[in-house]
Amino acid sequence: MKHTPHPMDVSSAQSFMSTEFQLRNIQPSKYIARSWKRSLLNYGLDPYAFNEVEVLSSSEMRSQLQLRETFLNTGKCGLIGLANRIADVGYSAILTDATGLTLATSLSTQEESLSKQSGLLIGARWAENQVGTNGIGTCLIEKAPLIIHKAEHFYASHKELSCSVTPIFDPMGELLGCLNASCIGADQNKHHQLMTLKMVMLYGRMIENSYLHTSYKNQLILSIKSAESFFDITQEQLIAINEKGTIIGANHAAFFYFMSHFQSHQSLLGINVEQFVGLSLDSLLSKTNGGNKAVNVQLPLLSENVELTLKVPKSKALPLVQAESKVHRKKCTKHPPINELNGEDASMQQLVRRALLVADKDIPIMITGETGTGKEAFARAIHESSPRADKPFVALNCAAIPETLIESELFGYLGGSFTGAHKKGMKGKLEQANGGTLFLDEIGDMPVQLQTRLLRVLAERETMPLGGIEPIALDLQVISATHQDLKTLIELKEFREDFYYRLNGMVLKLPALRERSDKSFIIDNILERECVAVHGLSIADDAKRALESYFWPGNIRQLISVIKYAVAVCEGAEITINCFPDDLIEHFSSLTDHKTAGSFKKEKALAKFTACHEEQLLIETLKKHRWNITSVSEELNVCRSTVYRKMEKYKIVQPNNAC
């Protein structure tokens, strides 16, 4: 008599599984046990109910294949290679996408009819939540190579299948799909499938690596493998690098190595290649003679030697690559790379990861957040970590250009198009950004009538300069930014709704500085960059605590300005609270620490007076100390520059003979 699993709690599910595994004479691995539990509790499936694999119609399947054309073209080569080695022993090879949808098959001629009856055909979807424990669906959930052998399948109707499956990942570390070798009526001994799994894993990695090479054919690709004569090809690490030396893509082996040896909060994508292999891009180019020879080195975190091979696109000779790399790095040093922007805050790291996933995927990105959160810096970092990094990044501040000029700034014009036009004309921002990235800052301030025209340009991917007659084709990534609530502007009819949805293919909301869990980390980094590295200054403990406690309504921009101001007025080797602007000193007085609060009370002694009394106090103190500015500043607990500024404000002039 067969058991029915409904209804069922956790305890009942465990009992049912134990009994069922005994009846089926199987010893489940952790993957299979977890999958059975999900099938019973999460999906509410009955292993003895009738189950039929979902199969898409021909028209539905055509659209799915078009969406996955690049992966399919690459994956078919690996599929055929695997099939040629397993078909003679009755195995079928299957390639699926990340949802478990079968994209391509190579069925064994011996078992072709049986395979189709079992659902091994193009268009079948083997998602675990529909079919329960099965090779494809469970592999995609667990993201690991595995074998689901015969009765280990959740549904009894699949008990004759034996599946060896490996996941396939894209260069961003996300699932592309999986590669599966299945047979019907296999030997009862599961261990006999291990060699098949190894073969599947080999071809899965080959598909993965080929997909990376295709995706980054115009970028430098570094291969890292063991320097030993014989090595496992599945362990070869591949990383794609832009001309700044930033890692912009990698295969699964590289991600696995990085996660195993680096700090968990770091992301492989966005770091410099030097952090990964201990050599800068210039050094790699030099040592490999522009990619013409392999070089043996020792990775920073391993004692074993590895062989590095650099693939340089044919269109870029060694001197050109080196020169462009140096020039680009020099030009962009004021803009932090994306791995510096994510810091140690989990929400920012998630934003960076999402941004890298869609970079150059023809998806418009909208960056929102309060003023000063670094929207333009984030946009530049996305650009410089994408395959468009060597193309223009063109920014247009929609709030900074008069409404009468913004159209010509955006679209450009031909000579003589209007009175006052330059006789040679001018390229607009759209044309300047062609091939690269267009950044529309403060998009909420763009005039409504201009939104209409830009909407059409973005839809048709071509622009027409003022006075022009031939459209210019456009290929660009559009990133917009705003601190305004665009949905409110839409309700007020000040922003077009269709334009809004054209721009927000992905919305990245940057958190305010006060909301970030790594605020201290950010402050330390800016202090290191602005104070220590350049000026050799330190900061007093109470001043550091003051920075960490402040609300920062102007966010990172305000923080940088305050620290630069403090550096400018600091007259010793240490920045103190007295070096901060007066308006911040008022806010800092709310600190609860008794010692710090006491110093704040002193330091605002001058600021708390009205203008009349402030002038009187200042004159009295100047006379008391015989116009010694240092002594005056110490008593009033303000910096010397503030004393001078107040003297100028009240037109206080030191007499010829101090009295």
Query: What is the distance between the alpha carbons of residues 2 and 23, in angstroms, rounded to a whole number?
Result: 10
User: What is the token pair recorded at 101?
Assistant: 């949808």
Q: Looking at 28-42, 594-608, 620-634, which range is the least confident one?
A: 594-608
- At which residue do the structure tokens 């034996």 appear? 162
Domains of the chain (ranges plus CATH)?
54-208 (3.30.450.40), 216-331 (no CATH), 343-511 (3.40.50.300), 516-649 (1.10.8.60)
Name which of 250, 249, 251, 163 is nearest 206 in CA terms. Answer: 251
Quote the pLDDT of residue 112. Answer: 58
Quote the pLDDT of residue 387. Answer: 84
Tens digits of per-residue pLDDT, 50-77? Answer: 777 888 888 888 888 888 888 998 999 9
CB 136 within 8 A of CB 173: no
**Cα angle vertex 468, ends 464, 472, to 5°?**
40
- The answer, yes or no, to whether residue 607 has pLDDT greater than 70, is no
CB 166 within 8 A of CB 207: no
- The answer, yes or no, to whether residue 655 has pLDDT greater than 80, is no
Q: Which of 229-243, 274-288, 469-483 has the highest mean pLDDT?
A: 469-483
Ramachandran assignment for 69, one of left (phi > 0), alpha (psi -120 to 50 degrees), beta (any other): alpha
Q: What are phi and psi of 652, to 5 degrees?
A: -90, 120
The residue that leads in pLDDT, 609 or 413, is 413
Q: 117, exposed or middle or buried, with CB in 10 Å at 0-12, 13-18, 19+? A: exposed
Residue 538 banded pLDDT, cuts 50, 70, 90: confident
Residue 113 banded pLDDT, cuts 50, 70, 90: low
**What mean pLDDT is predicted for residues 613-626?**
82
- The answer, yes or no, to whether residue 478 has pLDDT greater than 90, is yes
Residue 390 banded pLDDT, cuts 50, 70, 90: confident
Quote the pLDDT of residue 337. Answer: 66
Name which of 60, 38, 56 is nearest 47 in CA terms. Answer: 38
- 509 vs 216, 343, 372, 440, 540, CA distance in Å? 28, 16, 13, 16, 34
CB 283 within 8 A of CB 276: no
Quote the pLDDT of residue 208. Answer: 94
Strand, coil or helix: what is 270?
Answer: coil
Name which of 627, 527, 618, 626 is nearest 570 in CA terms. Answer: 527
Quote the pLDDT of residue 586. Answer: 67
Quote the percentage of the chain above a pLDDT of 90: 30
CB 136 within 8 A of CB 146: no
Query: What is the distance between the alpha carbons of residues 600 and 613, in angstroms, rounded to a whole number?
Result: 20
- The answer, yes or no, to whether residue 403 has pLDDT greater than 80, is no
Tens digits of per-residue pLDDT, 411-452? Answer: 887 765 555 555 566 788 888 999 999 999 999 988 888 888
Quote the pLDDT of residue 606. Answer: 55
Residue 577 banded pLDDT, cuts 50, 70, 90: confident
Tens digits of per-residue pLDDT, 119-133? Answer: 778 899 999 999 999
Q: Helix 69-86 vs helix 194-215: angle between axes, to the nearest 10 degrees? A: 150
